[in-house]
């Protein structure tokens, strides 16, 4: 039987069909934890398909002044924390003051960047953070606030793959530049390891109990998405075709191998990636 396989001897196997139409986003290669201190219960009010503009996330919690943490290990590349004003369009022509955002930007070793906006004034420095510092996943980088273009306390979160590091973000406002990604999230289970609006998530380290082997069956229609994670191998089934339609988005992530058996098809305009990475490996 013919198949397409990535083996453990290859550090990363990457197959991509990227001519996308519609509102789908590629999944991140990195794995990101919830960007709050452990035990914080959060809800996504705007996922990547509903945020204005698209491709970004808004996350809220009922906790009072919760800590914001690095979602994955990396280098802090910028901190703005001197602003104190909250403002947003009020219907009388007043613009949103995104130029007054407080934020932290982190570069990750895998080439992706993450950004954390609306932190309270002075909270990054109070946590001991500084530009150029290496931080581990879960390191405190600030306190949730409502500074800048905000309608109340929340975390504005972005993950991006910039075309070059020198222009990865805007120093005014803090927004990332390049291809915005749908971050794959650990600590929320393996059935749907990415943020969607509605469910309550609890912040924790990357410790999902992944299956050793995972067999993928079922196809994706346009605008559907899927992430499969396994400790050793992910394979498509050998009984029925697995077809990913135009404007779908999927990722297979396994520590040993990915097998795409005869009948697998990612159509033109689908986003598909196959990664050789252990289930809970972040970078």
Residue 15 pLDDT greater than 90, yes or no: no
Residue 164 pLDDT greater than 90, yes or no: no
CA distance 116 to 104: 5
Q: Which of 8-22, 28-42, 88-102, 267-281 has the highest mean pLDDT?
A: 28-42
Please write the tens of the pLDDT for every residue from 223-237: 999 999 999 999 999
Q: First-to-last CA distance in the chain?
A: 33
Length of the chain: 283
Residue 232: burial class (beta carbons within 10 Å; 0-12, 13-18, 19+): middle
CA distance 272 to 24: 11
SS3 call for 166: helix
Residue 20 pLDDT greater than 60, yes or no: no
User: What's the average model confidence in pLDDT over 239-266?
Assistant: 95
Q: What is the pLDDT of residue 11?
A: 32
User: What's the average model confidence in pLDDT over 146-153?
Assistant: 93
User: What's the average model confidence in pLDDT over 33-61?
Assistant: 97
Q: What is the pLDDT of residue 151?
A: 87
| Mean of pLDDT over the chain | 90
Q: What is the pLDDT of residue 187?
A: 94
Q: What is the pLDDT of residue 165?
A: 87
Portion of the chain with pLDDT greater than 90, in percent: 81
Q: Are 248 and 274 in contact (CB under 8 A)?
A: no
Residue 251 pLDDT greater than 70, yes or no: yes
Residue 4 pLDDT greater than 50, yes or no: no
| pTM, full prediction | 0.90
Residue 96 pLDDT greater than 90, yes or no: no
Q: What is the pLDDT of residue 16?
A: 35
Structural element, H or E, at residue 123? helix 123-126
Residue 51: C-alpha distances to residues 46, 78, 113, 196 (Å) = 5, 24, 19, 11
CA distance 282 to 278: 9
Nearest CA-CA partner of 273 in 218, 217, 234: 234
Structure confidence at residue 90 as a pLDDT band (50, 70, 90): low
Query: Residue 43: beta bridge partners?
Result: 60, 200
Q: Are 248 and 222 in contact (CB under 8 A)?
A: yes
CA distance 58 to 40: 15
Query: Residue 31: beta bridge partners?
Result: 184
Q: Which CATH architecture has domain 34-202?
A: Distorted Sandwich (2.70)
User: What's the average model confidence in pLDDT over 31-53?
Assistant: 96
Looking at per-residue pLDDT, the higher value among 266 and 24 belongs to: 266
SS3 call for 126: helix
Q: What is the pLDDT of residue 94?
A: 61
Please write the tens of the pLDDT for every residue from 176-227: 999 999 999 999 999 999 999 999 999 999 999 999 999 999 999 999 999 9
| Strand ranges, E, within 118-171 | 134-135, 140-143, 148-149, 155-161
Nearest CA-CA partner of 170 in 103, 94, 124: 103
Query: β-strand 233-236 against 257-261: which pairing, if any?
Result: parallel
Query: Where do the CATH 2.70.70.10 domains begin and end in the chain?
Result: 34-202
């Amino acid at each position: 039987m013919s198949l397409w396989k990535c083996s453990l001897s290859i550090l990363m196997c990457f197959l991509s069909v990227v001519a996308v139409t519609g509102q789908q986003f590629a999944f991140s290669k990195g794995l990101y934890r919830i960007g709050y201190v452990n035990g914080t219960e959060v809800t996504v009010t705007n996922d990547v398909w509903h945020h204005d503009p698209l491709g970004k996330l808004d996350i809220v919690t009922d906790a009072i002044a919760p800590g914001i943490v690095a979602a994955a290990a990396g280098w802090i590349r910028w901190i703005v924390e001197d602003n104190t004003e909250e403002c947003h369009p009020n219907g009388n022509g007043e613009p949103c003051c995104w130029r007054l955002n407080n934020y932290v930007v982190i570069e990750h070793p895998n080439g992706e960047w993450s950004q954390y906006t609306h932190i309270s004034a002075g909270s990054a420095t109070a946590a001991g953070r500084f530009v150029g510092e290496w931080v581990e996943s879960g390191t405190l980088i600030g306190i949730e606030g409502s500074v800048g273009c905000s309608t109340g306390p929340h975390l504005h979160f972005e993950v991006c793959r910039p075309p070059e590091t020198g222009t990865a973000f805007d120093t005014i406002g803090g927004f990332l530049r390049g291809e915005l990604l749908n971050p794959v999230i650990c600590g929320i289970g393996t059935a749907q390891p990415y943020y969607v609006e509605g469910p309550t998530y609890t912040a924790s380290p990357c410790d999902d109990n992944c299956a050793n082997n995972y067999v993928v069956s079922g196809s994706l229609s346009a605008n559907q998405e899927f992430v499969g994670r396994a400790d050793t191998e992910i394979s498509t089934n050998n009984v029925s075709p697995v077809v990913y339609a135009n404007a779908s988005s999927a990722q297979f992530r396994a520590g040993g191998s990915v097998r795409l058996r005869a009948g697998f098809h990612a159509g033109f305009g689908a986003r598909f990636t196959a990664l050789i990475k252990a289930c809970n490996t972040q970078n």
